A and B are shown apart, each in its own frame.
Chain A
Amino acid sequence: AQKITQTQPGMFVQEKEAVTLDCTYDTSDPSYGLFWYKQPSSGEMIFLIYQGSYDQQNATEGRYSLNFQKARKSANLVISASQLGDSAMYFCAMRVTGNQFYFGTGTSLTVIP
């Protein structure tokens, strides 16, 4: 079965601090991709970062990094130096064979000034 789990419905972080959003996945596919998307209150879905299952190093994109622990089947998003504009819903997603994407239920992040 293919499944993505985000166990944190809501998170708070102080401005300028780092925050980790949790994501675990389950798949039997040997090759898969892991994605994080941001959805601000305006509603659009914004791609943040990607990690391939065979990538040896953790992905980084500016203030975003993906803490990929393959044995634990986790793909946590780390946002460093949080900004007020980071307040949004964050979705973890997994792509498996057949280009199928599965999404978690999301984590609502609030950055406190």
Chain B
Amino acid sequence: DAGITQSPRYKITETGRQVTLMCHQTWSHSYMFWYRQDLGHGLRLIYYSAAADITDKGEVPDGYVVSRSKTENFPLTLESATRSQTSVYFCASSEPGRDSNTGELFFGEGSRLTVL
């Protein structure tokens, strides 16, 4: 099915371990984003990408690494997980200015990460 999918949906890990959250979209949207959602903070941007091989930091990038070698994939890696990175992570994509669309964000289902 077309859309944007995240994996894993749920992950429990330990402090210090490396974790990678995967994101795959089938629309060929140029922009992809990673947000984290925490109570009282809404959604905060971690990293975004305007195209393959182009990534940039968002509001809260520390402790995270991203890559985008292909347009459809945008993995997020926590190189050494900390308890403060326990959160729900959303991947999203958008294609601004295409036809008459609004350019809204399309979200994945979210990945709930717990760091013990």
B105 touches A35 (CB 8 A): yes
**Complex contacts, A95 vs chain B, CB 8 Å:** 96, 103
Q: Which residue of B lies closest to A91 (CB)?
A: B42
Q: Which of B43-51, B64-72, B78-86 contacts A (4 or more CB under 8 A)?
A: B43-51
B74 at the interface (CB under 8 A from A): no
A99 touches B50 (CB 8 A): yes
Q: Given A99-B31, A104-B42, do A47 and B104 touch, yes or no (CB 8 Å)?
A: yes
- Chain A interface mostly: strand
A33 touches B102 (CB 8 A): yes
| A91, B104: Cα distance in complex, Å | 13
**Complex contacts, B106 vs chain A, CB 8 Å:** 47
Measured CB to CB, the residues of A under 8 A from B are: 6, 33, 35, 37, 43-45, 47, 50, 52, 91, 93, 95, 98-106
Measured CB to CB, the residues of B under 8 A from A are: 31, 33, 35, 40-45, 48, 50, 88, 90, 92, 94, 96, 102-107, 109-110
